Structure 1
Amino acid sequence: MPFLTDSPPGSADALRRLVGLRWLSVGAMAALLGAVPPLLDIALPVSALWPVVLGLAAVNGASVLRLRQGGEVTPVELFAQLCMDLAAWSALLYFTGGATNPLISLLLPLVAIGAAILPAPYAWGLAVLAVAAYSLLWEFNEQLDIADSGLAVHWHLAGMWLTFAVSAGVIVGYVVRMTALIRHRDQALAEAREERLRNERIVALGNLAAGAAHELGTPLGTMAILAGELARNPRLDADTRADAALLGEQVAHCKAILGGLTLRAGSLRAEGGETQAADRWLDGIVERWRRLRPHVPLATHIDCGHPAPRLVADATLEQALHNLINNAADASPDGVECEAALAGEALVVRILDRGPGLPEGCQPGQPTPATGRGLGIGLLLAFGAVERCGGRIEFNPRPGGGTLATLTLPLSALCP
């Protein structure tokens, strides 16, 4: 019995689904020939109908071999396949009453299949052929011999009910499936559009960063010289010289970051391709962050197993984790927490703070939080870096107040 398919036009998948549906047609025809005579006491011309069933089965067997050979399936081939289905059902109806057989409405699902998988000209052509077959069966057919007219009317009404039920199921299935496909397509288009805009912003930021790195070199060098002179000036008190020394360290870190911008393009991995254990990689990121922001307490709990998996991490992932910790520290300067553990085939890093919580308009668990306090360029770059390796970043409210940022990285994208 023909049903609908949601396969794209002109594809091998469409033919594969059509083959599966045709086996259902063959089974329905065989069941009709085997069950109607004994159950309904209606004599069927089985000698003329069985060749139709066997012929359709042979066509489907040839289609299975065609699929195994591979190659492109064209709209013309799909149109020919549906024409064979239409011819088989028309032949079966010809020997079972033609247009008076209530099952003739089952030609409509074939037209619906054509509308779903064929280009418009072929779909209209199939519809014309179906109407022509219906018209011919109106005039040319072989009526079944049913002696009891009351029984004939009863089974005719039963057949009408069956065709109505099947048609209702086909329509609902078609509409639901097509609606789901349209929603899925719209969602995919929206995600692709959002990703393209984000990538454009990242490229623009990369160009700005390159220019900034070139222009900031001279003032940072001047600041480093002045900080060094102040740190060595004996006329200043010890606290001021200590602050000057710290300022010099921060300037040195800034110069190191600018010097490593070429490694932050996302196409290069850790320096020299050297692998390192996951816990060592995370400890290194944490220690570098502590040197940059020594006044914000950072508690860590890193458990990556024994032995921990070895990673070759993209340099931009280090910056992504650094940015997440930075945002947590901005929201909660009294202290933040960092936890890391393995979860199946992924490395999960959780950043917890006691700040004001999620920005207004940001739903828990959504991958991209709304723009708000502490959510700017750093997180834009973090999302881009994490998504490139197949990971994700999610934000949720922390019990007791604050925000929980969860970074999930698939080990398949990190392990050598």
Structure 2
Amino acid sequence: MFSNSSQSPLSKNLHRLFLLRNIVIAAQCVTFALAHWILEMELPWTPMVGVAVMLAVLNLATWVRLRRKLPVSSIEFFVQLLVDVFALSALLYFSGGSTNPFISLYLLPLTIAAAALPWAYTWVMAAITISCYTLLLFYYVPLPHDHEEHNSEFNLHVSGMWLAFVLSTVLIAWFVVKMGISIRERDKDLALAREQALRNEQIIALGTLAAGAAHELGTPLATMAVVTGELQNEYTENNEFQGNIRILRDQIAHCKRTLTQLLADAGQARAEDGSGQAVDHFLRQVLDKWQLMRPSVQFTYRGSGVQPAPQILNTQLLSQSILNLLNNAADASLKHIEIEVNWNYQELHLKILDDGEGLTGEAVQRAGQPFFTGKAPGQGFGIGLFLANANIERFGGSVRLTNREGGACTQVILPLIRQSTQSTI
């Protein structure tokens, strides 16, 4: 009936109060019927039934109000509880006052106020319920009784007290349990928000450091390009040397392009800056670029999916994230890497299988945290997987690292761009 996923805690609690009031109204109707037809008690039924009808009308208005999905304030929730307290007081006044076994139901709105509202409202509610109970000690309509049936009436009173206790216990436990679940959900959401904020701060710090490093690395890379060019011109007869120099110059050129792109995109890389590209072409480009970066890595690629291939958001961040994951697998692999890809119209599933030693227990727990690396000292900084995981999550995807027989598996899930089903003319 109501969607609780996006509601505030007080909105959820008002919804629970609405359900709780339905239960109370139903219990009142059953009690009235029992007292009138079974026990044949002479009570002022007109005002008592009027109070129950008033509660039903209030709950109908609450139902309409909940459907409008407006924010619920503490004062509104408190007023709703006050109406329940005054309705209970009216019913108790017409049915024996403090001698009524259902007097303990005053604990129910007090418990709800203590669980759902700030402490000031709780103390006000405590003062109101104590005042109502105190007034009912002196002002009430006595229950009709016959002296000859005193014992049976006493037994009935004890039974009513037991029923009131059971009803209060069940309703209080239900509401408090639901409140505890809401609090735990809120704490979980706050923890996720704090973790995301911390991750964003770390990414910004890394971006600032990367921009500074790019400026500093420009000069030595230019020097290396000049020196390797001179060496290439000097030893023209040595074919093996020429091949090695060519690889070195290609790597230097790739580093310079990467730094140029980094400086151009610093502070401007956003998910919405990308354009759509067929997912098979996108993967082929990423693998071609990776093969240029790591020419010595041996791998097999298997890709399959629906045709024509749907599009994926092609951005520098996304391709760089996948390259980081491929490089991690290459560093861990001993001989060979398997890359398995399949897609449908909604998602891309990418698996990178290496034949390394697998993940340690600590790596499984901490993989993706900044500055944590399972590599040997000096062979990694612990930011590649962190950035890849953060960027892929920004695109609505996920990264998962698991152990498998004979190595580790990196699983990536990425959403694809939904295509319109309507043909354009």
TM-score normalised by L of structure 2: 0.85
Matched, 1:394 2:403: no
Structure-1 separation of matches of 2:321 and 2:93: 70
2:4 corresponds to: none
1:263 corresponds to: 265
What amino acid does structure 2 have at the position aligned with 1:337?
A: E
Preserved contact between residue 233 and residue 241 of structure 1 (Cα < 8 Å) = no
Residues 214-268 of structure 1 deviation map (CA, whole Å, 9 limit, x = unaligned): 1222221222233233334345421111010111111111111111113375634
1:337 corresponds to: 338
Residues 390-414 of structure 1 deviation map (CA, whole Å, 9 limit, x = unaligned): 222111111x2311111122236x8
2:188 corresponds to: 187
Residues 51-88 of structure 1 deviation map (CA, whole Å, 9 limit, x = unaligned): 11112223333444555677554433332222111111
Residues 92-145 of structure 1 deviation map (CA, whole Å, 9 limit, x = unaligned): 112222222221111211112222333322221111111111111222222333
Cα offset, 1:163, TM superposition: 2.3
Preserved contact between residue 337 and residue 352 of structure 2 (Cα < 8 Å) = yes
Q: Cα distance 1:181–1:96, how it changes in 2: closer, same or farther (>3 A)?
A: same
1:80 corresponds to: 79
Q: Cα distance 1:14–1:344, how it changes in 2: closer, same or farther (>3 A)?
A: farther
Helix, strand or coil: the match of 1:361?
helix
1:103 corresponds to: 102
Q: Cα distance 1:274–1:67, how it changes in 2: closer, same or farther (>3 A)?
A: closer
Structure-2 separation of matches of 1:50 and 1:323: 72
Cα offset, 1:29, TM superposition: 1.8
Out of 395, 404, 409, the residue aligned to residue 414 of structure 2 is: 409
Preserved contact between residue 345 and residue 416 of structure 2 (Cα < 8 Å) = no
What amino acid does structure 1 have at the position aligned with 2:191?
A: A
1:372 corresponds to: 373
Preserved contact between residue 264 and residue 315 of structure 1 (Cα < 8 Å) = no
Cα offset, 1:342, TM superposition: 2.6
Preserved contact between residue 33 and residue 44 of structure 1 (Cα < 8 Å) = no
1:353 corresponds to: 354
Residues 185-220 of structure 1 deviation map (CA, whole Å, 9 limit, x = unaligned): 443333333333322222121111111211222221
1:304 corresponds to: 305
Cα offset, 1:167, TM superposition: 3.0
State how many pairs are aligned: 406
Preserved contact between residue 18 and residue 63 of structure 2 (Cα < 8 Å) = yes
Matched, 1:139 2:157: no
What amino acid does structure 1 have at the position aligned with 2:118?
A: P
Structure-1 separation of matches of 2:155 and 2:108: 25
Q: Cα distance 1:53–1:182, how it changes in 2: closer, same or farther (>3 A)?
A: closer
Q: Cα distance 1:279–1:169, how it changes in 2: closer, same or farther (>3 A)?
A: same
1:155 corresponds to: 156
Preserved contact between residue 236 and residue 242 of structure 2 (Cα < 8 Å) = no
Structure-2 separation of matches of 1:366 and 1:242: 38
Preserved contact between residue 360 and residue 370 of structure 1 (Cα < 8 Å) = no
1:327 corresponds to: 328
Cα offset, 1:362, TM superposition: 3.9
Q: Which residues in structure 2 correspond to 1:60-75 (within 5 Å)?
A: 60-66=59-65, 73-75=72-74
Structure-2 separation of matches of 1:113 and 1:225: 77
TM-score normalised by L of structure 1: 0.87
Q: Cα distance 1:14–1:269, how it changes in 2: closer, same or farther (>3 A)?
A: closer
Structure-1 separation of matches of 2:272 and 2:197: 26
Structure-1 separation of matches of 2:104 and 2:344: 55
Q: Which residues in structure 2 correspond to 1:200-211 (within 5 Å)?
A: 200-211=201-212
Helix, strand or coil: the match of 2:216?
helix
Preserved contact between residue 362 and residue 369 of structure 1 (Cα < 8 Å) = no
Structure-2 separation of matches of 1:379 and 1:8: 35
CA RMSD of aligned residues (A): 2.9
Preserved contact between residue 359 and residue 372 of structure 1 (Cα < 8 Å) = no
Residues 299-346 of structure 1 deviation map (CA, whole Å, 9 limit, x = unaligned): 111223211111223321111111111111101141112222236732
Helix, strand or coil: the match of 2:90?
helix
Structure-2 separation of matches of 1:409 and 1:166: 51
Structure-2 separation of matches of 1:411 and 1:134: 63
1:55 corresponds to: 54
Preserved contact between residue 352 and residue 403 of structure 1 (Cα < 8 Å) = yes
Helix, strand or coil: the match of 1:408?
strand
Preserved contact between residue 366 and residue 372 of structure 2 (Cα < 8 Å) = no
1:3 corresponds to: none
Structure-1 separation of matches of 2:306 and 2:371: 35
Structure-1 separation of matches of 2:47 and 2:338: 80
2:3 corresponds to: none
Q: Cα distance 1:386–1:77, how it changes in 2: closer, same or farther (>3 A)?
A: same
Structure-2 separation of matches of 1:228 and 1:132: 95
Q: Cα distance 1:175–1:337, how it changes in 2: closer, same or farther (>3 A)?
A: same
Q: Cα distance 1:280–1:8, how it changes in 2: closer, same or farther (>3 A)?
A: closer
Q: Cα distance 1:235–1:58, how it changes in 2: closer, same or farther (>3 A)?
A: closer
Helix, strand or coil: the match of 1:303?
strand
Structure-2 separation of matches of 1:274 and 1:67: 42
Residues 24-63 of structure 1 deviation map (CA, whole Å, 9 limit, x = unaligned): 3322222221233334444443223111111222333344
Structure-2 separation of matches of 1:100 and 1:203: 68
1:4 corresponds to: none
1:21 corresponds to: 20
2:91 corresponds to: 92
Q: Which residues in structure 2 correspond to 1:156-305 (within 5 Å)?
A: 156-261=157-262, 262-263=264-265, 265=267, 267-268=269-270, 273-305=274-306
Structure-2 separation of matches of 1:141 and 1:302: 81
Helix, strand or coil: the match of 1:149?
helix
